[in-house]
Structure 1
Amino acid sequence: MNNVLSRLGNIPVTTPMLESLYPHLKGGNQKVRLLERDGEIIRLKRGLYVCNPEITGKPLSTELIANHLYAPSYVSLSSALRYYGLIPEAVYTTQSMTLKHSRDFDTPIGRFEYIYMPRETFSIGLSSIKQDGYAFVIATPEKALCDLIANSPNVNLRYLKDAEVYLAEDIRMEIEDFKQMNTSIFEKYIEIGKKAESIKTLLRLMKK
């Protein structure tokens, strides 16, 4: 017999959504607790769950979970650069930018970190990635790099050499990959984002 949870796939769901799958039960909330106890669902935070991939047959997406765990938000910084294969190191915390207060969540799936960003900068350079029946919002490579620089207190790229060292040694990004990025996103970020002078130096390096 098919498990009713399998229809949910890997999309995070709320307690009421789970309860709606069992309309014949009066104690829907108790059913949710039993599902969690039996490992059929995984609690991400109070009132938000994801189904065990062994039941749904669909692997969990940390990017999708990040969008749902604390919204509005988008995956960015090193997490996005790693997703695109632009930096070699594994990233063990899923990092996002949010319009809300900065906050961290520790879940059975991993750690999720959210950093506040002003509304005027938030919508620049976002991408919706669609795959296997779901979609999540993530920074473009350019926006992720700008966010990373803007939110790294010790990074100050005054000269071209500073930018070269930062890319090649600090985050280990290939210069060839960097030079293929979209200049327009850097230009928009310079107008309203933090660390404008550092981003200007990056732009000069790109056009060198």
Structure 2
Amino acid sequence: MTYLEFKDRMQQFPVFSVREIKKHFPGFDNRRLVEWQEKGYIQKLRNRYYRFTDFQVNESYLFYCANSIYSPSYVSLESALSIYGFIPEGVFQITSCTTLKTNIFETPIGHFSYRHLKPSLFFGYHLQQWDDHYYAIAGPEKTIIDYLYLNSDVESYEAFESLRWNAAEMLSRISIKTLNAYVNHIGSKTLTSRVNLLKKYVNANT
């Protein structure tokens, strides 16, 4: 099998795993992966996950990669806060939530960070289309819930002021009904207190 034959079959996958390779090429010799890395045709993202180097790297591609190399997961936290315009600065890593253990991967195309959520909290995301593919990202309300649930230091009005969240953008994008439904579903007094502080902050800054 030549590299061109391999690419013709596998280029439908923006990220591909050794497992997927062997579905299409039973008996595949993994030494080819080392050879093609050395020639610059492919890059290793993490153990057993690869990409073609001529695939354009943009934000959507990075979000797709985040989902693919550590699954199940969905983009959330700082990355989603930035996408929705809730925080003023750009984010230099892709942040996600997962039911797997908390983890970090340094790759040739970026830094991927994952925070653990118990399975009962793994909801509130949707599939966003990117070309012919899809990636999972938290909705605006779940992005906020995830952040407040996982960041125990946000426990005062002053903490929200220091975060400098865009209150006007939040007010325009967030459904309070959905936010309250999520809080009630989770049933955490601490989370409820933090969300109430967030509402106070938003109301005071819009």
Q: Is the TM value for this pair above 0.5?
A: yes
In the other structure, the counterpart of 2:133 is: 134
Answer yes or no: is the 8 Å Cα contact 2:84–2:140 preserved in 1: yes
1:172 and 2:164 equivalent? yes
**Deviation digits for residues 93-118 of structure 1, max 9, x if unmatched?**
21111111111111112211111112
In the other structure, the counterpart of 1:12 is: 15
Answer yes or no: is the 8 Å Cα contact 1:75–1:94 preserved in 2: yes
Q: How many residues align?
A: 194
* Stretches of structure 1 lacking an aligned partner (at least 5 in a row): none
* Stretches of structure 2 lacking an aligned partner (at least 5 in a row): none
Q: Give RMSD over aligned pairs.
A: 2.6
Answer yes or no: is the 8 Å Cα contact 2:57–2:109 preserved in 1: no
| Cα 1:20–1:121 shift into 2, 3 Å | closer
| Cα 1:34–1:175 shift into 2, 3 Å | same
**Deviation digits for residues 149-172 of structure 1, max 9, x if unmatched?**
222221114xxxx17x71xx4333
Q: TM-score, normalised by structure 1?
A: 0.80
CA distance in 1, matches of 2:202, 2:77: 19
SS at match of 1:178: helix
1:30 and 2:56 equivalent? no
- Structure 1 residue 148 displacement after superposition: 1.3
CA distance in 2, matches of 1:8, 1:171: 41
Q: TM-score, normalised by structure 2?
A: 0.81
**Deviation digits for residues 59-88 of structure 1, max 9, x if unmatched?**
351111111111111111011111233322
Answer yes or no: is the 8 Å Cα contact 2:97–2:115 preserved in 1: yes
- The 5 A counterparts of 1:1-208 are 3-4=4-5, 5=7, 8-9=11-12, 11-18=14-21, 28-52=29-53, 54=54, 56=55, 58-59=56-57, 61-123=61-123, 125-157=124-156, 162=157, 166=160, 169-180=161-172, 181-191=174-184, 192=186, 195-203=191-199
- Structure 1 residue 207 displacement after superposition: 6.9
| Cα 1:177–1:29 shift into 2, 3 Å | same
Answer yes or no: is the 8 Å Cα contact 1:10–1:59 preserved in 2: no
SS at match of 1:184: helix
Answer yes or no: is the 8 Å Cα contact 2:101–2:115 preserved in 1: yes
SS at match of 1:85: coil
- Structure 1 residue 139 displacement after superposition: 0.6
One-letter amino acid of the counterpart of residue 139, structure 2: T
| Cα 1:197–1:12 shift into 2, 3 Å | same
